[in-house]
Structure 1
Amino acid sequence: MTESYKKNSITLPGAVAMGTGVMIGAGIFALTGQIAELAGPLFPLSFVVGAIVTAFSAYTYIKISNAYPSAGGIAMILEKAYGPTTVAAGASLLMALSMVINESLVARTFGTYTLRAFGGDPDSILVPALGVGLIVFAYLVNASGTRSVGLVSIVMALLKVSGIALFGVSALWASGLSFEATGGDAGTTGFVASIALSILAFKGFTTITNSGAEITDPHRNVGRAIILSISICVVIYLLVAFAVGSNLPLDRIVAAKDYALAEAAQPALGQTGFYLTVALALVATASGLIASVFAVSRMLAMLTDMKMVPHSHFGMPGTIKNHTLVYTVVVAGFLTVFFDLSRIASLGAFFYLAMDIIIHLGVFRHLRQEISAQSWVLLTAVVLDAVVLIAFATMKWQSDPLIVILGLVGMALVFLFVGIFLARNPVNDDDHDHDRH
C-alpha cells in the first residue's frame, strides 16, 4: 500500500486548507439555514456549542493520530481499537458513507447557488445535474495526483476564507450591528438537535486524520492542522451567522435555508454583494468536494488493504486507490440525484455521530493507556454525542420519520453486510499487520 501514497506530499498549510475546505464548503452554505430552522434565533450559539462538542471529539482523533498517523486514519483507529471485526469495519464504512453523503450535500449546494445566480428554480432538475458535474470535476482533480489536490485546496481555501470573512464584516457593518432574526422559540430539544448539524459542519477535520500518512511531520502536524482548521472555522461560522441574522428575519432565513447566505447578501450589500456571495459559494463547495473525495477514497483503500471490505476492479485498470476514487464519486453522484439537502444532512449526521460514539468507546476501552488519553475527556465526548443524536432523532421523527427509518435501516445493513463478508473471509493477523505509520 505504501507505493500508492506519497509521504510528505501535504504540507501543514495544505492539511489545514483541506480541513477548512471540507468544513466551510458544507457548514456555511448548506447548513446555516437548516440550523436556524431547528435552533430558532439562537442559531449562532449552536455553532459555538457544536465547536465545543467537536473539540471533545477531536481530542480522541488528535491523540491517536499523533501516535499512529495513517492514510486511512479513522479505519486505522477502529482497527486498532476493535481488531479486524464487524464493529471496526462497520463503523469505518459509516464514516466513509457520512463523508460521501457530505459530498452530495456540497454538490447540491453548488447547484442551488449556481441557479440562484441566474434566477433559476432551486427545485429544478438542474440542481442535481450541476452537482454531478462538480463531482466529475472533483474526480478529475483527484485523479491528477495528490499535489494537485493540495495546491487547489490551498488556493481555494485562501480565497473563500478571506472572501467569507469580508462578507461577514461587510454585512454586519451594513446592518448597523442589529440582530433581526428574532422571534420564535424552538425549545431546548430543537436547539440540542440543531447541534447535530453544527457538528456536521465541523466534521471536515477528519479529512486531515484520513490523510495523516501523507502530511509532513505527521506526529506533530496532524494535531496542529486539526486544531487550526477547527479554530478558523468557528470564527468564520460565528461571523457569518451573525451577519445573516443581522440582515434577515428568522422566517426568511428558514425559507431560504438552502441559499441563506446569498439571500442575506442582497439587502446588506446589494446585487453586487449577492453575486460575489454566489461566487464564494461556488469556490467553497468546489474546494470542499475536492478535499472530501481525496480523503474518503483513501479511507476506503485502507479498508480494502486491511481486507475488511470486499473489492472488485470491475474491469478497471490502476491501483485500489484509483478504484475507490471511482466508487466514491459514483455513490456521491447517486445521492446528489435522489436526495434533497435536508435529508442528505440528516443521514450524514446520523451516520457520523454513531461512528463517533463507537470510536470514543473503543479508544476508552482499549487504547487510552497506550496513547495517554484522559478517560474523562473520552467519556464526555460519548455523552455529548449521544445526547445530541437522541435529540436530533427525536426532532426528525416528528417532522420526517422516513429519514430516521432510512438511517436505522442503513446502519443495520452496513453492519450486516460487513458481518457476512468477514464471516466468509476471516482476516488473519498477517492481512492487517501492514505499514500504517
Structure 2
Amino acid sequence: MSFARSLLRVKPAEQLAEDGSHTPLRRTLGLVPLVALSVGATLGTGIFVVLAEAAPAAGPAVVVSFVLAGLAALCSALSYAELAGSVPVSGSAYSYAYATLGELVAWICGWCLLLEYGVSVAAVAVGWGGYLNEFLRGTVGLTIPDAFAAPPGDGGVVNVPAALVVLLATAVLLMGVRESARATTITTLLKIAVLVFFVAVAITAFRSANMTPFAPAGIAGISAGASAVFFSFIGFDAASTAGEEARDPARDLPRAIILSLAIVTAIYVLVAYAAVGAVGVGVLGESDASLATALRVVTGQGWPSVVLAFGAVLAIASVVLTVLYGQTRILVSMSRDGLLPGMLSKVNGRAVPAGNTVVVGAVVAVLAAVVPLNQLAEATSIGTLVAFGLVNIGVLVLRRTRPELPRSFRTPLMPWVPLLGLALCVYLIFGLDAVTWLTFALWTAVGLAVYFGYGRRRSKLNRTVVEAAD
C-alpha cells in the first residue's frame, strides 16, 4: 500500500461495531439519561457564560445569532444522528470519520474533539467561578479575591474555583457511569427549572425600547454573534460518545441527539429574548454572571439573583461533568485503535477508564486555572466546527460507499441537509478571530506531529493491513 493510500485507509463500520460489542464498558444508559447527558453537556455553556460576550457584538439581534447557530447545529445533528445509528460506538465524530474518510482525517477529527471537549470544559469552569462569587456575595457577603478567582490576563493569578470544579467532576466520574448519569439527570432538571424561573421573572420587565436598534452592527454583528454563541451548542453530540454504554445505541442515540438539540435551542432563544428585553445588551455585557446581574436589575432585590446563581453553580458543574465524560470516551476509542497509548483505554473494576480520567481531569484543571475565558471559548468553537463539518461530509460518503448498511435513522433531504450543515460550519469558521485560527493551526501541527511520530506506526488497522498483505 502506498504512503498516501495508507493515510486514507478506512476502518469498516462492521469492524468498529465489532470492537464496540466487546467493550469492557457497561451498557446501563437508556434514552432519558442519554438525553440528559447531551442536554447536560450543552445547556448552560452559552446562556450562563457566553451571552455576556455575544450580546454586545450582535445587539438585541443576538436572539437571531442563537437561531443561526442552532440551524448550523441542527444540520450537523441530523448527520450525527444517522452516523450514530449506523456506527453505534464510542468515539463520536472520530469513529464516524474513521469509517468514512480514513485514518488521517479521523485522527484530525479526534484531535479537534480533544480541543473541543477539553477546552470547553475549562471555559465553562471559568464561568462557574463567576457564579460562585455571585452566590457567595448574596448569601454571606463575601467573594473570592480576584487573585484566586481569575486567570492571568483577567486580573488574577490563578482561578482556584475553576480548577476545583474540574477536580470534583473528575472524582464523580471515577465513581462509575451509573452514578455519573444519575448526577447528570438531577442537575439537568435543576438547570432547566432555574432557566424557566429566570424567563418568568425577566419577562415581567420586558421593554420594547431595549430591542432597538435591533441589529446595530447589521449582518456582520449577527454573524459574529453566531460564531461566538455556537460555542453554546457544543455538547448536543455528547450522547454519541456513550455508544458503548447505551442499552440500545442504534435506536436511542439518534433520538437523544435530536431531542437534546431541540430542548436546548428553545431554551436559549427564550432566555436570550427575555434577558435582552428586560435589561438591554449593555447590562448583559457587564459581568460573566450576566443572568444573575439581570435579575438583580429587574427586581431590585438580591434573592432572585442568589437563586439563579445557586442553580448556575450546580448546573454549570454538570456541564463540566458531562463534557469531561465525553472527552474520556473519545480517548478510549483512539487508544483502542492504537493511535494513543494503551493505558488510556484500560478500565478498572467499576468499568471506568480511571487512568484516562485522571489525566484528562488534571490537564483540564490546569487550563481552567490559568487561561482567560474568551480565548478558551473561541478555540473550542473552531475545533467543534471542523469536527461537525467532517461529520457532514462523512454521512454523504457513507451513503455513497455503503448504501446497504443498516441505518436506524436517515438524514432527511439528502444531500442538501449535510451540504447546508457543511456550508454553515465553513461560514461560522470564517467569523472567528485571526488569533483563533493561529491557535488552531498550532494545535493541528502538534496533532500531526503526534500522529506521524506515534499513532501511524502503532495503528492497529495498519498492523491488520500489513498482516493481510503478508
Same fold by TM-score, threshold 0.5 exceeded? Answer: yes
Moved more, 413-422 or 374-383: 413-422
2:62–2:226 contact (8 Å) kept in structure 1? no
Cα distance in 2 between the residues matched to 1:348 and 1:412: 16
Moved more, 147-156 or 316-325: 316-325
Which residue number corresponds to residue 262 of structure 1? 292
Change (3 A) 1:417 1:273: same
Query: Which of residues 343, 365, 372 is equivalent to 1:340?
Result: 372
1:116–1:122 contact (8 Å) kept in structure 2? no
Query: Which of residues 377, 396, 416 is equivalent to 1:376?
Result: 416
Superposed displacement of residue 25, structure 1: 2.7
What does the per-residue CA deviation read over 1:253-274, in whole Å, with 9 as the maximum and x for residues that have no partner?
A: 2222x21111111022321111
Superposed displacement of residue 197, structure 1: 2.7
Change (3 A) 1:413 1:430: closer
Superposed displacement of residue 429, structure 1: 5.9
What does the per-residue CA deviation read over 1:284-330, in whole Å, with 9 as the maximum and x for residues that have no partner?
A: 111111111112101101110011223557x9988882222122212
Q: Which amino acid counterpart does residue 69 of structure 1 have in structure 2? A: P
What does the per-residue CA deviation read over 1:313-358, in whole Å, with 9 as the maximum and x for residues that have no partner?
A: 7x99888822221222122112112211111101000111122222
1:28–1:237 contact (8 Å) kept in structure 2? yes
Superposed displacement of residue 132, structure 1: 0.9
SS in 2 for 1:214: coil
Q: Are 1:232 and 2:263 counterparts?
A: yes
- Residues 22-421 of structure 1: matches in 2 within 5 Å? 22-83=41-102, 85-119=103-137, 120=143, 123-127=146-150, 128-173=159-204, 175-176=205-206, 178=208, 180=210, 182-183=212-213, 185-256=216-287, 258-269=288-299, 270-311=301-342, 321-368=353-400, 369=403, 370=405, 373=411, 374-392=414-432, 396-397=433-434, 401=435, 403-421=436-454
Cα distance in 1 between the residues matched to 2:429 and 2:347: 39
SS in 2 for 1:391: coil
Q: Percent identity?
A: 22
Which residue number corresponds to residue 468 of structure 2? none
Cα distance in 1 between the residues matched to 2:209 and 2:184: 34
Cα distance in 2 between the residues matched to 1:306 and 1:312: 12
Structure 1: give runs of 5+ residues left out of the alignment: 433-437
CA RMSD between the two structures: 2.4
What does the per-residue CA deviation read over 1:124-150, in whole Å, with 9 as the maximum and x for residues that have no partner?
A: 423420111111110111000010011
Cα distance in 1 between the residues matched to 2:439 and 2:397: 30
Which residue number corresponds to residue 6 of structure 2? none
Q: Which amino acid counterpart does residue 185 of structure 1 have in structure 2? A: P
Structure 2: give runs of 5+ residues left out of the alignment: 1-19, 138-142, 151-158, 466-470
1:25–1:285 contact (8 Å) kept in structure 2? yes
Superposed displacement of residue 241, structure 1: 0.6
What does the per-residue CA deviation read over 1:128-181, in whole Å, with 9 as the maximum and x for residues that have no partner?
A: 2011111111011100001001111111111110221121122112x0454525
Q: Which amino acid counterpart does residue 449 of structure 2 have in structure 1? A: L
1:86–1:422 contact (8 Å) kept in structure 2? no
SS in 1 for 2:353: helix
Q: Which amino acid counterpart does residue 87 of structure 1 have in structure 2? A: V
SS in 2 for 1:10: coil
2:206–2:274 contact (8 Å) kept in structure 1? no
Q: Which amino acid counterpart does residue 114 of structure 2 have in structure 1? A: A
Q: Which amino acid counterpart does residue 365 of structure 1 have in structure 2? A: V
2:149–2:161 contact (8 Å) kept in structure 1? yes
2:78–2:258 contact (8 Å) kept in structure 1? no
1:171–1:247 contact (8 Å) kept in structure 2? yes
Change (3 A) 1:294 1:353: same
Cα distance in 1 between the residues matched to 2:275 and 2:340: 44
Q: Which amino acid counterpart does residue 5 of structure 1 have in structure 2? A: L
Cα distance in 2 between the residues matched to 1:67 and 1:428: 20
1:301–1:320 contact (8 Å) kept in structure 2? no
SS in 1 for 2:29: coil
What does the per-residue CA deviation read over 1:207-242, in whole Å, with 9 as the maximum and x for residues that have no partner?
A: 101112222322121111111111111121112112
Cα distance in 2 between the residues matched to 1:206 and 1:302: 16
Change (3 A) 1:137 1:345: same
Paired residues in the alignment total 420
Which residue number corresponds to residue 435 of structure 1? none
Which residue number corresponds to residue 5 of structure 2? none
After TM superposition, the score normalised by the length of structure 1 is: 0.89
Superposed displacement of residue 384, structure 1: 0.8
SS in 2 for 1:213: coil
1:190–1:391 contact (8 Å) kept in structure 2? no
What does the per-residue CA deviation read over 1:8-62, in whole Å, with 9 as the maximum and x for residues that have no partner?
A: x112111111111111131211111112133222001111111111110011110
Cα distance in 2 between the residues matched to 1:206 and 1:215: 14
Superposed displacement of residue 4, structure 1: 2.7
Q: Which amino acid counterpart does residue 36 of structure 2 have in structure 1? A: A
Greater Rg by CA: 2
SS in 1 for 2:234: helix
Cα distance in 1 between the residues matched to 2:26 and 2:352: 15
After TM superposition, the score normalised by the length of structure 2 is: 0.83
